[in-house]
Amino acid sequence: MSGIKFKRVLIANRGEIACRVMRTARRLGIETVAVYSAADRDALHVRMADEAVYLGPAPSRDSYLRGEKVLDAARQTGAEAVHPGYGFLSENAEFSRACAEAGIVFIGPPAAAIEAMGSKSAAKQIMERAGVPLIPGYHGDGQDRAVLKKAADDMGYPVLLKAVAGGGGKGMRQVWQAGEFDAALDAARRESQASFGNADMLVEKYLTAPRHVEIQVFCDRLGHAVYLFERDCSVQRRHQKIIEEAPAPGMTDALRAAMGEAAVRAARAIDYEGAGTVEFLLDPDGAFYFMEMNTRLQVEHPVTEMISGQDLVAWQLAVAAGEALPLAQDELAINGHAFEARIYAEDPANDFLPATGTLAFLQPPAESEYVRVDTGVVQGDAVSVHYDPLIAKLIVWDKTRAGALQRLGRALREYRIGGMPTNIDFLHRLAGCAPFVAAELDTGFIDTHRELLFPAADGPGLAGAAVPLAGLYLLLARRRDGRLAAAHGDPYSPWNLRNGWRLNQPYRQDFALRLGDEDFALVAEQVGAGPADNETEYAVTVGDKSWRVRGALQGERLWGEVDGHRLQATVAAHGDGLRLFGAGGSVDFRLVPADLGDEAVEAGGGLSAPMNGTVVAHLVEPGQAVERGAVLLVMEAMKMEHSIRAPADGQVVAFHFQPGELVSGGDAVLEFLVAGVDGGGDEVGE
């Protein structure tokens, strides 16, 4: 690939994919231009680029989706080509065509190929003619509710509603019985319209236990086409992938060849160029069905790179420059096994609700030939409501699946983030649970194994050591702060000892400790002392449980000995609290301020927004009687819809925000009156 002609490339994206493209471009000696919104002025991808051009305000519709501004930036900086990454303009045929008209190379397929696959219904028809197996379903143009409902009734439930112009799980709903159809269709149409500007739907038979297996294809303009094997992307939440692996477990050579050749036929059917992914559903009986083709680089492309030894972005640049594919099919081979885990700012225990905030502490695992971290953020950056809450992609490789899985577990334990909830602990449980280790995979994996993945609380976690470790940290931090105070004052003052000294009394300190969602009354008594911190021993007691602890602090590193068991942990400050990271997971903790007699201020009667977002729709009228659990209002945040439901039988008194308005997390979005309570009574908030 030494003949690559581009001297300067503009990356029309942000975050980790922009940084990832820049790394390859830099290795190849290509200059890079970044674009950015107001929210990303100081972002990592902006700092990495040779130049950067401002596009507009934070919302993507005013910045990253403004194709004309991106092209202006390319002209202004002399970029010969535009790499769209994934998302935003990557599958926008109009933008691809505009690039060609401007004499700027679009590093992706031609507009006609994007258009062919941009409509799921049209794509199904093309695939049928190309001999690619299809899932039974309705892919017609008629979009009347009655037409769609009849198609679903005729094929039998469950069915899957999918946005014709969709992708990434947007505009998609499962319908398990006829009575759910209307509500599911309305929700899917709203989400599809908001995400793609198109509310058209197709209806497919829903396979209850399939695997999601996709094939990486590559084509050049000289007529060559190859497949770079498969990825298993079955483990998903809300139809969005969270752990991917390559190769797919249990794949035979014959099935791999059959799926790969079908994927190449699909690409050739639309005169494809560049990197693409053909996604299939694989039934337990070995039958596979075309689902869709993504005409871009996939989020999970690193696992293919790890097992093939190829740089797919370098391949993209070569093909876009008119070169032939670097390798033929018989020159490609699989080496080892790779996993990718997507690190999100979200709360898995709360239906994976997206989170926003500042990355107050960020410590990724060390990278090596076995561990790779693709990210677009550094410590101190913000996760914004305007974009996807993806923080990073953690990719691991080893010679075998078992070896790669062991490396994944270790790397997840070494990935430490403070300042907002993340899915890291959830991913660690998932990667270590017996069904995943045994590769018993299907797209319903999370729901099927919910009890394993969301275990009932049994103490404060971290193998039961969280309370004594948190207590030990507070004791050692108090002593450290005392020394700092003494260094700036009277070194002999007893007030600077901070060790609980009392005349003729035991050295005792009382803490009100909040660990996770629980409060603990903790008593710490010094029972042995020496010249160094690690020689000072304490008895830490909560109720009828007691531990002997001692240890030392070195910056953010805590080593502690709990009843003779030596442990290592990291403690990071964020906001008004701390997060303790240990071998068994992580947990937030903080001191609870003393009760000085102030009366608690109760929240009003409003139902609160669970996150920053935009009001999409009111589903009831003020004064209308509703039952407990009824959806009252729909919000959208980070490209996903979230419903606010009635906490009891009652009625909405008033809405405080109208559709289209922005809402901050915690704001009361409506007033709710419980049935049987008069206007002067208590109202219920959630």
Q: Which helix (H) or strand (E) holds 676?
A: none
The residues near 8 (Cβ < 8 Å, ≥ 6 apart) are 30, 31, 32, 33, 50, 77, 78, 79, 80
Q: What's the half-sphere exposure (Cβ side, CA atoms, 13 Å) at 255?
A: 19
Closest of 653, 645, 644 to residue 677, by C-alpha: 653
Q: How far apart are CA 417 and CA 581, in angstroms?
A: 9
C-alpha 81/C-alpha 64 separation (Å) is 16
Please list the alpha-helical segments (H only) found in 351-444: 401-414, 424-432, 434-437
Selecting among 66, 231, 296, 590, the annotated active-site residue is 296
The beta strand positions in 452-530, using DSSP E, are 508-515, 518-528
Strand stretches in 166-273, DSSP E:
172-175, 201-205, 211-219, 225-237, 240-246
Q: Counting every residue, how long is the chain?
A: 686
Give catalytic status of residue 296 as yes or no.
Answer: yes
Nearest to 247 by CA among 238, 256, 239: 256
Tell me if residue 506 falls in helix, strand or coil.
Answer: coil
Give φ, ψ of 193 to 5 degrees: -60, -45
Q: 100-136: buried (b, 16+ CB within 10 Å) or exposed (e) per residue?
A: eeeebbbbbbbbebbbbbbbbbebbebbeeeebeebe
Distance, CA of 443 to CA of 462 (rounded, Å): 30
DSSP string across 86-134: SSTTTT-HHHHHHHHHTT-EESS--HHHHHHHHSHHHHHHHHHHTT--B
Angstrom distance (rounded) from CA 608 to CA 594:
28
Angle, vertex CA 275, rays to CA 271 and CA 278, nearest 5: 75
Q: Which helix (H) or strand (E) holds 685?
A: none
Write the secondary structure of 229-258 as one string of H (helix), E (strand) and C (coil): EEEEEEEEECCEEEEEEECCCCCCHHHHHH
DSSP code of residue 457: P
Residues that are catalytic: 296
